[in-house]
């Protein structure tokens, strides 16, 4: 059985530095959440998913386990399972026995982390053809010829769609719909709007793993931008923005300081923040409208008994 790994993502140092510097110099400083995921960041996020406070992973896994037969009836078997933001590939592995993919295609920007995960998975599931793709799927879903065009089932778990602004989410889902072609579909996890205290606990856990995950971004930026961030000068902040229906992650300066990098610098006053991530929370009705806008139809959905999380299978309309 032919397996492989294709590295499409090639780091363009000039473009990366330009993007990061533009965000740091904006009136309200920001850094794209994709820079949370260097090698250490990916491992920290995998650990966060095991925390008792972090309900999305646990609740989604319960839905997959309880409804796997229904999900398989909706998606069909023998598809090419394309795992967007695969990480350690464990979420997709939970689906293998039910949907029995003919070909598994995990995609992640963290190339080395993904390569190791795929190698481990191949020993456990030698009957499934696997082709790992190191690429930034948030920008493009142009897939190589090694990925079959028929029966594509895109898998986007964990409510990662919440990291996009609503208009960006609509555009991204439109690109997924185009890549599905006529007979494909999307299996996607969506975090639902719920009590603020539950949300805050999930993004500011008691042992500080989420804080470490957020602060680790500064070390990644130091490496990419040749900057001099000192993580001890910053603290992790999470807040629920009720007006936007989203959790926001920020890094807040503990004191007045100046950050310097090659070709630029910025002064931060004590209490000034860098916005690092959004996580939008949807009502079921609002998200189904988003899928319809993107060109999907015939949606099947599964929601846990508490109403915390939703899994949807949307077919290409």
For the whole model, what pTM was predicted?
A: 0.91
Query: pLDDT tens digits for 83-142?
Result: 999 989 999 999 999 999 999 999 998 888 899 999 999 999 999 999 999 998 988 899
Say if CB 314 and CB 297 are below 8 A apart.
Answer: yes
- Which tokens is 212 given? 């470490």
Please tell me the CATH code under which domain 75-194+281-316 is placed. 3.40.50.150
Query: pLDDT tens digits for 11-39?
Result: 788 999 999 999 999 999 999 999 999 98
Interatomic CA distance for residues 116 and 92, integer angstroms = 15
Strand 80-84 with 264-268, pairing: unpaired
Residue with structure tokens 């949300």? 199
Query: pLDDT tens digits for 167-200?
Result: 999 999 999 999 999 999 999 999 999 999 999 9
How many Cβ atoms from other residues are within 10 Å of residue 94's Cβ?
14
Interatomic CA distance for residues 170 and 152, integer angstroms = 20
Q: Which among 203, 281, 218, 283 has a CA at the least distance from the CA of 252?
A: 218
Show me where the domains of the chain are located.
24-49+196-280, 75-194+281-316
Query: pLDDT tens digits for 201-235?
Result: 999 999 999 999 999 999 999 999 999 999 999 99
> The sheet that has 234-241: what strands, in order across it?
234-241, 246-253, 273-280
Which residues in 45-59 are b (16+ Cβ under 10 Å) and which e?
beebbebebbbbbbb
């Amino acid at each position: 059985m032919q397996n492989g790994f294709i590295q499409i993502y090639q780091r363009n140092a000039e473009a990366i530095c330009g993007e990061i510097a533009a965000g740091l110099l904006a009136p309200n400083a920001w850094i794209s959440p994709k820079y949370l995921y260097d090698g250490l960041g990916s491992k920290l996020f995998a650990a966060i998913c095991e925390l008792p406070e972090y309900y999305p992973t646990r609740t989604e896994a319960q839905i997959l386990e309880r409804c796997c037969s229904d999900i398989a009836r909706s998606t069909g078997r023998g598809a090419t399972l394309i795992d967007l933001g695969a990480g350690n590939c464990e979420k997709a592995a939970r689906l293998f026995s039910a949907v029995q993919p003919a070909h598994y295609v995990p995609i992640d920007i963290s190339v080395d982390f993904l390569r190791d995960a795929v190698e481990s998975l191949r020993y456990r599931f030698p009957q499934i053809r696997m082709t790992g793709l190191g690429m930034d799927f948030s920008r493009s879903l142009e897939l190589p010829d090694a990925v079959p065009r028929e029966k594509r089932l895109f898998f986007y778990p964990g409510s990662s769609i919440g990291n996009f602004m609503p208009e960006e989410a609509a555009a991204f889902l439109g690109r997924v719909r185009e890549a599905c072609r006529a007979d494909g579909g999307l299996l996607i996890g969506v975090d639902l709007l719920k009590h603020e205290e539950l949300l805050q606990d999930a993004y500011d856990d008691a042992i500080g793993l989420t804080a470490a995950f957020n602060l680790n971004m500064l070390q990644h930026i130091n490496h990419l931008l040749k900057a001099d961030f000192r993580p001890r000068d910053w603290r992790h902040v999470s807040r629920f923005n009720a007006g936007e229906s989203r959790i926001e992650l920020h890094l807040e300066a503990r004191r007045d300081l100046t950050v310097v990098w090659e070709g630029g610098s910025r002064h931060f006053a004590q209490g000034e923040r860098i916005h690092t991530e959004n996580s939008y929370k949807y009502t079921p009705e609002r998200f189904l409208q988003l899928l319809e806008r993107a060109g999907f139809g015939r949606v099947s959905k599964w929601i846990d008994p508490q109403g915390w999380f939703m899994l949807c299978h949307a077919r290409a309309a």
